[in-house]
Structure 1
Amino acid sequence: MRHILTLNSGSSSLKFALYPLAGAASLDALTPRYRGKFTGLNGGAPGFSLADGEGHPVAAEMGELPPSLDLPGATARLLGWLDAHPDLALAAVGHRVVHGGRAYHRPVRLTPEITDALKAFESLAPLHQPFCLAPVAALAERYPELPQVACFDTAFHADQPEVARWFALPREMTERGLIRYGFHGLSYDYINQVLPACLGDAPRERVIVAHLGNGASLCAIRNGQSVASTMGFTAIEGMPMGTRSGSLDPGLVLHLIQQEGMSADEVTELLYKRSGLLGVSGISGDMRELLASPAEEAREAVALYAYRAVREIGSLAAALGGLDQLVFTAGIGERAAPVREAICRGCEWLGLALDPDANRRDALRISRADSRVSAWVIPTDEERMIAWYSARLLGQA
């Protein structure tokens, strides 16, 4: 049996899933045979876990993981494990690639030339792009004939109105590609695909999806198409995140460089790795730890996170001309009931009435039956989206 392998690689983790190609007839029919991940790479405490399609843990022999295990090492161990199991033969590999620039609006089969072109966007997503592309060469060397597909987080937003993508910069800069791209597109694409089944007859002309995880953004979707998003040229704009600052006054960045003498590298480190929930709380960038902490600083960090989310929702509702549905997804959105409650309370002016009991239970619908704007919790599945697009590109779906 042949499979589609999906890879979602980051600086400290490698997530993967295996989907039988025979199940690629439709998105609903795609069911993973395995999901797994390496964590604690590049200087952390390396770990590995594997589960079957139902989420039950599965034993897998990966050998002892050295403290120095990095992304190439984890990739090599994964490929070695696959080679040792002939029943897991690969038909294709689908990669989550964060940035596709202006040239790549749809999934594409990777070639050396396209891979090199995508490396040019590394400065726009320094926490993601280099790691997204890192496994490509190892796979090409090991399986030279194996198709590899890039699926882009920017693609879902590529058809936004131009006015939603422009910065007020000189026109020649806009023409060079200094525009708003938006991210988390694979997650939004998946939610958009499953919305009809989840919402039934509920109106879905104007929808805001809140992808709230370690990285966080929101997207306004009108009639199934992205019309505005909170992330722009890079994956740092918008609301605060685990360790990222979110939007800042550009003058503040100039102040850090000109008045406080910080270098560009130091500012990058500050805004990407020492800000957000971690910076405000001084405790952690992990929402679970902050919600469990009695510290006032933790409470303030969570309050700022929710406040900024509400501000973004107001902006996106204006872009939509109103709001029918608010959808929470990703790790915080799916599992942090207190955060959802704070955000929903801040949206009461839009006509959203929270059902506290449903929210505590992480129910599908967490708003009251009489709420003019309904709120939902819908788990995202970027890996399934990658597998589906890879199968389609190969003519298997």
Structure 2
Amino acid sequence: MASTDLLLTFNAGSSTVKIGIFATEGTEATRIGKGVIDFRAEPLSLSLTKGPQIIEMPLKAEVTEDLHGVIDETLALLADHFDMTATRAAGHRVVHGGDRFTRAIALDAAATDAVDALTPLAPLHQPQALRFIRALKHLKPHLVQTASFDTAFHATQDDLIRRFAIPRALHDEGIKRYGFHGLSYKFIAGELRRKAPHAAKVVVAHLGSGASLCALDEGVSRDCSMGFSTLDGIPMATRTGWLDPGVILHLADQRKQSFEEIEDLLYHRSGLLGVSGISADTRDLLKDDRPQARQAIDLFTLRIAGEIGRMAATLNGLDTLVFTAGIGEHQSEIRAGVAKRSSWLGLAIDEKANAANDFTISTRKSRIAAHVIATDEEQVIADEALSILRGG
């Protein structure tokens, strides 16, 4: 392939999409631009980052279910800044691969249908990726498209870790722990090989509006705080995290709440927002003096620290802790709170390094190394798409 070839990535969330623009040369994909569309914003716009520039471009197309107009206009706007005729492939983040997809794949009609068949396992996330996959197929029918799965990285976990204490037949039907944020954890595992090659038994805390932790043994996933769904694990911005199933029974039986009401509660009205009654954003809560705000932050750091301890048991030891994603990379107060609750493990944080968001934030005497590493899911998607494009 020529050095000027381009590759696009699409990282679709419930209400936003991040579009990566990568130049490819040989086996290397290098980011040259990034676009973001927030479908909640009015008026709709494409925010493009190109080098030091941030360019806001209004989108006039109507947002339809098939997204044809929005994607067509977006590609046209990108063509004002990049040679879009050189685009050779588009890689997509897909949340759920089930047991079938344990590596990135090329998307033909049959594979797309197979991804769609997994929608019941991720009803809020899978359809978003499929909208972009199908829109691009309609607009660019000959463009190679690939899928990178958040669950694939965790396929290495032992069957014991993946089991719930439910009848075996249900497990065999797919009701098990899958784990998520796998693209982020794959990137971090690669960064650790480069920057901290001696790290062996590692817990990575991916802390953003969606949040989870992963136990890595020599870079291989052994456990994840998220299980069957993205609701599981630690409290998040608006999601509950762990919840006694009896609460669901109580809400349905005693309070006669509908499925839709319970789903809305679990996904959109709980977590930090629910506990504080103030905000889902840790930045707002850290600045707020009200006790409800403090309690939400304390619950967040308590559950993170508890999960670190649990994962140390899975790994039979712990030598490295990594903080990543928006909160993990930028909010020193959250990291300090987690570290304080994890001091029994021998973790000690250097206050100055932590405040500066340095790569290493642990003290020299700390028995556990603590690092801050920026994650890049789009880079993983691009690398996997390029590998498929080159026949890897």
TM-score normalised to structure 2 length: 0.94
- Asked if 1 retains the 8 angstrom alpha-carbon contact of 2:212 and 2:233, the reply is yes
Choose from 43, 49, 61 the match for 1:51: 49
Q: 1:11 is aligned with what amino acid?
A: S
Choose from 328, 331, 350 the match for 1:333: 328
Does 2:9 match 1:33?
A: no
Instruction: Report the more deviating stretch, 126-135 or 213-222.
Output: 126-135
- Asked if 2 retains the 8 angstrom alpha-carbon contact of 1:49 and 1:57, the reply is no
1:126 offset after TM fit, Å?
A: 3.0
Cα offsets for 1:164-210 (capped at 9, x unmatched):
1111111111111111000000000000011022215xx32200000
Where 2:20 maps in the other structure, the secondary structure is: strand
Aligned twin of 1:6: 9
Instruction: Report the more deviating stretch, 9-18 or 41-50.
Output: 41-50
Where 2:215 maps in the other structure, the secondary structure is: strand
1:69 offset after TM fit, Å?
A: 8.2
Aligned twin of 1:136: 133
Aligned twin of 2:268: 273
Aligned twin of 2:382: 387
Alignment of 1:287-306 (within 5 A): 287-306=282-301
Alignment of 1:226-305 (within 5 A): 226-305=221-300
Which segments of structure 1 move beyond 6 Å, counting only runs of 4 or more?
66-71
Aligned pair count reads: 387
1:262 offset after TM fit, Å?
A: 0.7
Gaps of 5+ in 2: none
Alignment of 1:149-228 (within 5 A): 149-200=146-197, 203-228=198-223
- Asked if 2 retains the 8 angstrom alpha-carbon contact of 1:10 and 1:127, the reply is no
Does 2:337 match 1:342?
A: yes
- Asked if 1 retains the 8 angstrom alpha-carbon contact of 2:27 and 2:387, the reply is no
Aligned twin of 1:90: 87
- Asked if 1 retains the 8 angstrom alpha-carbon contact of 2:322 and 2:370, the reply is yes
Q: 1:333 is aligned with what amino acid?
A: G
Cα offsets for 1:8-42 (capped at 9, x unmatched):
112221111111122x524xxx3211011012x14
For 2:43 and 2:281, the matched residues in 1 are separated by 17
- Asked if 2 retains the 8 angstrom alpha-carbon contact of 1:42 and 1:70, the reply is no
For 1:125 and 1:158, the matched residues in 2 are separated by 17
Aligned twin of 1:109: 106
For 1:135 and 1:93, the matched residues in 2 are separated by 10
Aligned twin of 2:357: 362
1:45 offset after TM fit, Å?
A: 5.6
Aligned twin of 1:374: 369
1:68 offset after TM fit, Å?
A: 6.3
Q: 2:37 is aligned with what amino acid?
A: F
Q: 1:312 is aligned with what amino acid?
A: E
TM-score normalised to structure 1 length: 0.93
Aligned twin of 1:147: 144
Where 1:193 maps in the other structure, the secondary structure is: helix
Where 1:51 maps in the other structure, the secondary structure is: strand
Gaps of 5+ in 1: none
Instruction: Report the more deviating stretch, 86-95 or 300-309.
Output: 86-95
1:223 offset after TM fit, Å?
A: 1.3
1:67 offset after TM fit, Å?
A: 9.2
For 2:274 and 2:176, the matched residues in 1 are separated by 28
For 2:124 and 2:93, the matched residues in 1 are separated by 13
- Asked if 1 retains the 8 angstrom alpha-carbon contact of 2:237 and 2:272, the reply is yes
1:123 offset after TM fit, Å?
A: 3.1
1:291 offset after TM fit, Å?
A: 1.6
For 1:383 and 1:352, the matched residues in 2 are separated by 31
- Asked if 1 retains the 8 angstrom alpha-carbon contact of 2:24 and 2:30, the reply is no
- Asked if 1 retains the 8 angstrom alpha-carbon contact of 2:59 and 2:74, the reply is no
- Asked if 2 retains the 8 angstrom alpha-carbon contact of 1:46 and 1:67, the reply is no
For 1:362 and 1:133, the matched residues in 2 are separated by 36
Q: 1:185 is aligned with what amino acid?
A: G
For 1:349 and 1:317, the matched residues in 2 are separated by 12
- Asked if 2 retains the 8 angstrom alpha-carbon contact of 1:42 and 1:71, the reply is no
Where 2:156 maps in the other structure, the secondary structure is: coil
